[in-house]
């Protein structure tokens, strides 16, 4: 599957604060599709939650995106939309931001994995204190 994604040129998208998006853009993930839609969204304190939700839904529907990276604090704002996404592709990965550290107890993927593994198994992912 990874080879197939590489051949088709699948993308990573980012929904994050300015520092997160700039970092990934400098790393080379920035793309604009044929409809002139970018694969990233910069969120600031004035960005409406509805706009974040719409962007997330748009990224999920795009067939050229395989991974959606989202700052965990922003994911909390649209948790209901993220939790409704159950397909493995695109994968949704919550990442920390400069101002908000990662909290394993809020991660939707770890919450789903909790039902499949023992708590001791999750400790290898930094979830020692995971109680959700």
Binned at pLDDT 50, 70 and 90, residue 3 comes out as very low
Tokens 């409704």 label which residue? 84
pLDDT tens digit string along 72-106? 999 999 999 998 998 989 999 999 998 888 887 78
pTM: 0.78
Q: If you write DSSP's letter for every residue of 91-130 in order, what string do you get?
A: EEEEE--SSS---GGG-HHHHHHHTTS-HHHHGGGT-TT-
């Amino acid at each position: 599957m990874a080879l197939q994604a590489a051949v088709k040129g699948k993308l990573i998208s980012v929904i994050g604060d300015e520092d997160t998006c700039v970092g990934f853009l400098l790393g080379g993930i920035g793309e604009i599709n044929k409809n002139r839609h970018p694969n990233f969204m910069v969120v600031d304190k004035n960005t409406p939650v509805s706009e974040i939700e719409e962007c997330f839904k748009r990224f999920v529907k795009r067939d050229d995106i395989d991974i959606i990276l989202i700052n965990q604090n922003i994911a909390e704002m649209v948790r209901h939309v993220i939790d409704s996404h159950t397909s493995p592709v695109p994968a949704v990965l919550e990442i920390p931001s400069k101002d908000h550290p990662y909290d394993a107890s809020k991660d939707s993927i770890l919450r789903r994995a909790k039902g499949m593994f023992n708590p001791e198994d999750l400790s290898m992912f930094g979830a020692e204190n995971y109680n959700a």
